[in-house]
Amino acid sequence: MNDNRDPEVAQDKSQPCNHPRPGDDEMSSTDTHTEATSTSDLPPAPTEQTDTVPFPTLHPTTTSTSSKPYSSFSKSTKILIVVIGGIAGIFSPISSNIFVPAIPTLSNAFGKSESAISQAVTVYLVFQAITPSFLGSLSDSYGRRPIYICTLVVYLAANIGLALCPTNAYWLLLVLRALQSTGGSAVIAIGYGCVTDVAEPRERGKYSAAFQVGAMLGPALGPFIGAVLTDGLGWRSIFWFLAIATGVVLVPLILFLPETLRSLVGDGSIPPPALNTSPIILIQQRRMKKEMNEEEEKVERPPRKPYQPLSAFMILFTPEIILIFLFVSLLYLEFYSILTVYSTALKNTYKLTELQIGLCYLPSGLGTICSAQLNGRQIDYWFRKEEKRVGGDYRKKPDEFDLDYTRIRCLAPFATLFLVSVTSLGWCLQVKAPLAATLVVNFFMGLGTGTIGTATVYGQDLKPGKGGAVSASLNLVRCIFGAIGVAAIQSMYKSLGAGWTFVLLSGIVILGIPMPILVVKRGKIWRKGRIERLRRKEEEKVIGDRA
């Protein structure tokens, strides 16, 4: 049986842990739906070269005695991957609510009620939840680059279609919104997969934080941009803006983004297939071979991972992962609900114009950016501290390294800040506090959102080699929760007012606090139990084969 396994499988009960060999990689692994055959590429730690980039040089980890880096990509290339992915990642969240300020205008244009036009938002959220689960897994099999390009092309085409949509075809509006969501929502799952490919666990926090900037900016910038464009150029300009922005991102992505999937390129040193190679690199390679009169050298590649369309769903059967995802999704439900009702509350309380309301979303956007960066540094800090304490990370010291506590403790400060600031925001709106006070509290609400990154990194630690599927799994759960919140928030606000509505939402999150505590207490025990069941199955299989 393959020695490369998930961290939980690497914990042999009666024998020393099998360490990865110096050249071992995820590229030699084959994933399956069950944890019995789930794979792990856990190559040795990097000795990074020093470049003038924002991230500091890392010293070798104690994960392995080998000095071979986890990734052969330079730091500048890693930054390129993160920057392109982060910019592309803004399209999914910004597209969901950039549409909201134009709902009254679209209602008049299409001759439908505002409630009917709002269904386009619901359709977007539904497809935003479902489609990344299939496309993220697809990128884990066929490569990040081709799926990245295809999804963005679909997103570009959908935006052009929406901009040209005739006002007598309401059904077409809904269909194109579904297509827009299908193309735009998958880029976050694929982008997280790229981060997992090139960043080892001890530095994954800061790279994930940099990638998150775009995704976290979207919810705050969407209403503002939508209001400005609708007031100035009409509702069609929203979709022309998104189409142009997609083209600006798509060109450098096609030209420069390298393939990172480890089952195809290993640590980055194996040339990818032609379909997964950027045109610039492909031209250079062919020109060099022609000048040197060399024949095409056949590259030995590992077997391609089979496409597992249900991989993202199967991940949710891991109790540690589903409990953390559920808790984080409760926080997301509250955050997205507040974003939805915030414009209504501002208008009722302060009698602001649409443009002024759009500006009031910016403090929370700034807070989310700060939150992502602070959380990224926090994640890496506690990981390295635990690594130093036990003399290795969870791959080398699975019994001593407390992975669950090390990762999950990062949820506490942000969740606490979020709950306090949300409750305060509700009562600021309820008692008609000065607008400045409301905006300050809104900033701290954004600052408390640094929980999605923690949940994603934790899931990727438990399911190495499935970075796209893990991100898609979390996206599925949180978007379902977000859709529930959006459907209920307006009725709650009308019945209870801002103060008690926000208190009720915070109370629901507080009821979920035992979930991460349970994972910290029982996570390692659950993994050992699964390992024991795996061992028994292997023994029974051997006995059956002998018989």
Q: Could you tell me what percent of the chain has a pLDDT over 90?
A: 24
Total-model pTM:
0.73
Total of domains in the chain: 2
Task: Specify whether 78 is located in the same domain as 123.
Answer: yes
Task: Specify whether 243 is located in the same domain as 201.
Answer: yes
Q: Is 377 a domain residue?
A: yes
304, exposed or middle or buried, with CB in 10 Å at 0-12, 13-18, 19+?
A: middle
Higher pLDDT, 30 or 517: 517
Residue 304: pLDDT band by 50, 70, 90 thresholds?
low
Query: How many C-beta atoms surround the C-beta of residue 206 within 10 A?
Result: 23
Measure the CA–CA gap between 6 and 27, rounded to whole angstroms.
Answer: 14
Measure the CA–CA gap between 95 and 105, rounded to whole angstroms.
Answer: 17
Task: Specify whether 229 is located in the same domain as 128.
Answer: yes
Tokens of 544: 């059956």
Q: Answer whether 257's CB lies under 8 Å from 130's CB.
A: no
Task: Specify whether 158 is located in the same domain as 260.
Answer: yes
Task: Specify whether 80 is located in the same domain as 186.
Answer: yes
pLDDT in tens, 229-269: 887 888 899 999 999 999 999 998 898 888 888 888 877 77
pLDDT greater than 70 at residue 226: yes
- Domain span including residue 369: 315-546
Q: Is 39 a domain residue?
A: no
Task: Specify whether 261 is located in the same domain as 373.
Answer: no
Helix (H, G, I), strand (E, B) or coil at 278: coil
Task: Specify whether 227 is located in the same domain as 366.
Answer: no
Q: Is 247 a domain residue?
A: yes
Give CA angle at 107 (122, 228), nearest 5°: 85
Query: How many C-beta atoms surround the C-beta of residue 408 within 10 A?
Result: 24
Task: Specify whether 234 is located in the same domain as 372.
Answer: no
Higher pLDDT, 287 or 381: 381
Q: Mean of the pLDDT values across residues 455-483?
A: 85
pLDDT greater than 50 at residue 410: yes
Tokens of 281: 């690199």
Task: Specify whether 255 is located in the same domain as 341.
Answer: no
**Which of 275, 307, 339 is at the close of a domain?**
307
Give the residue from 183, 217, 206 showing the smallest Cα distance to 48.
206
Q: Answer whether 234's CB lies under 8 Å from 109's CB.
A: no
Q: Is 56 a domain residue?
A: no
Tokens of 225: 């941009």
Q: Answer whether 307's CB lies under 8 Å from 321's CB.
A: no
What CATH number has the domain bearing residue 172? 1.20.1250.20
Measure the CA–CA gap between 467 and 279, rounded to whole angstroms.
Answer: 25
Helix (H, G, I), strand (E, B) or coil at 25: coil
In the prediction, which pLDDT does 298 show? 61
